[in-house]
Chains A and B, each alone.
Chain A
Amino acid sequence: MDSNRILEHPILEFTEGEDLPFSFDGRQLVGKSGDTIASALHAAGVRVLGHHFKTGRPRGFYCAIGNCSSCLMIVNGVPNVRVCVEPLQAGMVVCSQNDRGVLP
């Protein structure tokens, strides 16, 4: 059980979704149906989604609604995916992005 998942809440009811296995930089992780890639990574304790192409500083998400482009990652070989709004799917291959990305 992920300790970052909210199981009890005074107002909201969170039903536990089905498991969606995916990989992150070669590690096998499990998200839940209804997750975005970013929420699944965050629930698994992952905060650093990549490093800035010029400064090398770590990047995480900021807005979580697809506005700010702070959360770009490489998903199934496609770079610059805004993982905060990209629905998680089983079997996705998610990699940190440390450059501007090269289109496949």
Chain B
Amino acid sequence: MISLPLLIVGAGPAGLCAAYRAAEAGVDVLILERAQKAGGQLVKQTHKFFGSEKQFASTRGIEIAKILTNRLQGLPGRVRLQTDATVLGFYEDGVVTAQVQGQFMKYRPDCCIVATGASEKTLAFAGNDLPGVYGAGAVQTLMNEYGVRPGNRVLMIGAGNIGLIVSYQLLQAGVKLAAVLDAADEIGGYLVHASKIRRAGVPILTRHTVERAYGNEKVEHAIIHALDDEWKKIPGSEQQLDVDVICIAVGLSPLADLLWQAEVKMKYIAALGGYVPLRDADMMTSAKGLYIAGDVAGIEEASSAMVEGEIAGIAATQRLGFSTEKSELLKKDCLQQLRQLRAGPGSEKIRTGMALAGGYV
């Protein structure tokens, strides 16, 4: 059993920022990361970020991952970043178990920050289990991390930011796009992304959905159709598309399994993507000393995940008795950044969800 002041689960944008703020104030930190490298899903984000300078606006996600990881060195507190380390269980006596490079480990942290991120949702349609039906994140991983084209011709389902950004990245990788569909009346993502795709000659069909995928052992064709005012199929509107990949970009759910195990108070909040832990403005859950940050606290953007990570890191530091005069000021600044990130008309859903979860709006 290893006792330690602060354990962070997940080395994505939230976890890395939490570690930075804690180590900066002198706290020793252990980060356990399931993947083989740090950065979470930033490692495949080739686009430049929005937001303000504090959230690395106009820097590409892949670069932000490197910046956040590199700045953990040489701080007053020591940061140990352990990759290939999957946290397995949270126990009622505060013990956390993990598989670290194939070895079973037990930890007893004074404080813990869970920053496990999210998992991709799927969509119900006939043939949705065929090989070739891939999550948008999976397609991004395959092309941008491993340099492999997911297929020759892709049908994208979902015109939110992820659907639009991955569509553009597919074009950059030399893959053809048959169409981008969305069941909603309007394109959900930023129009700057949508116009790039339209300029490339790819139709974005709103009020459309996929009806069926079929092929011999893998996706070869898709049938799509138009939807009426009540989201019912318009008869006769079917079209067949010859595609070998159907990419699903219909949203994410918080990856909150560990928090269920920790038995913190959870609530279903559709605006935040599913079940999320209730939290205070410090990002602390109903369990003392157990904090959350990033998509596990509610599906949002990497920019707000970074700021939430900083808040959780500072708050844990204060709880551990390491706070400096700077801590409270830094935290206030972070709260101000969150308010700005969530201020726009497009963030109304997030504001509603955060209010229900007890978080800062």
Q: Of the candidates A34, A47, A59, A68, which one forms a contact with B146 in the assembled complex, judged by CB atoms under 8 Å apart?
A: A34
Q: A10-B172, A65-B137, A67-B119 are in contact. Are A5 and B147 (CB under 8 A)?
A: yes
- Measured between beta carbons, the chain A residues less than 8 angstroms from B35 are 65-66, 85
Q: Is the CB of A6 within 8 A of B148?
A: yes
Known: A11-B46, A12-B144, A39-B146. A47 touches B132 (CB 8 A): yes
Closest chain B residue to A35 by CB distance?
Answer: B146
**Which of chain B's residues 20-40 have a Cβ closer than 8 Å to chain A?**
34-36
Given A6-B147, A11-B172 in contact, is the A64-B132 Cβ separation under 8 Å?
Answer: no
Q: Which of B137, B142, B149 has the most CB of A within 10 A?
A: B142
A49 to chain B, nearest CB (A): 7
Q: Does B135 sit within 8 A of A, measured CB to CB?
A: yes
The answer to whether B137 touches A63, judged by C-beta atoms less than 8 angstroms apart, is yes
Is A5 in contact with B148, judged by CB distance below 8 angstroms?
yes
Does B60 make an interface contact (CB < 8 A)? Answer: yes
* Contact call B172/A60, Cβ cutoff below 8 A: no
B218 touches A62 (CB 8 A): no
Q: Report whether A12 and B46 are in contact in the complex, using a CB–CB cutoff of 8 Å.
A: yes
> B46–A61 contact, CB under 8 A?
no
23 A-B residue pairs with CB within 8 Å: A5-B148, A5-B149, A6-B143, A6-B149, A8-B174, A9-B173, A10-B172, A11-B60, A12-B62, A12-B144, A34-B146, A36-B146, A47-B132, A47-B218, A57-B129, A58-B131, A58-B217, A60-B130, A62-B135, A64-B141, A65-B41, A65-B137, A85-B36
**CB–CB B146/A9 < 8 A:** no
**Complex Cα gap A59–B34 (Å):** 24
B residues contacting the other copy or chain, number (CB 8 A): 36
Task: Indicate if the CB atoms of A48 and B60 lie closer than 8 Å.
Answer: no
B133 CB–A CB distance under 8 Å: yes
Are B147 and A12 in touch, CB under 8 angstroms? yes
| A contact residues around B134 at 8 Å (CB) | 60-62, 64
Cβ of B301 under 8 Å from chain A: no
Distance in angstroms between the alpha carbons of A52 and B129 in the assembled complex:
10
- Which residue of B46, B138, B146 contacts A62 across the interface (Cβ within 8 Å)? B138
Interface residues of B in 113-164 (CB under 8 A from A): 119-120, 122, 129-135, 137-139, 141-150
Residues of the B chain whose Cβ atoms lie less than 8 Å from the Cβ of A5: 147-149
Q: Which residues of B contact A64 (CB under 8 A)?
A: 134-135, 137-139, 141-142
- Do residues A4 and B119 form an inter-chain contact, with CB atoms below 8 A? no
CB-CB nearest in chain B for A41: B148
Whether A43 sits at the interface, judged by CB under 8 Å, is yes
- Point out the residues of chain B lying under 8 angstroms from A4, CB to CB: 148-149
Nearest Cβ in chain A — how far from B97, in angstroms? 18
- Tell me the chain B residues, 32-58 only, with Cβ under 8 Å from chain A: 34-36, 41, 46
Residues in A with CB closer than 8 Å to B72 are none
Q: Which B residue's beta carbon lies closest to that of A57? A: B129
Task: Verify B143–A59 contact, CB threshold 8 A.
Answer: no
Query: Judging by beta carbons under 8 Å apart, are A6 and B174 in contact?
Result: yes
A65 to B137, alpha carbons, bound, how many Å? 8
Determine the distance from Cα of A63 to Cα of B155 in the docked complex, in whole angstroms: 17
Please, which residues of chain B bring their CB within 8 A of the CB of A68?
A: 119-120, 135
In the complex, are the beta carbons of A48 and B217 less than 8 A apart?
Answer: yes
Min CB gap A65→B, angstroms: 6
Q: How far is the CA of A49 from the CA of B218 in the complex (A)?
A: 11
Q: Is A91 an interface residue (CB 8 A)?
A: no
Within 8 A of B (CB), among A18-36: 34-36
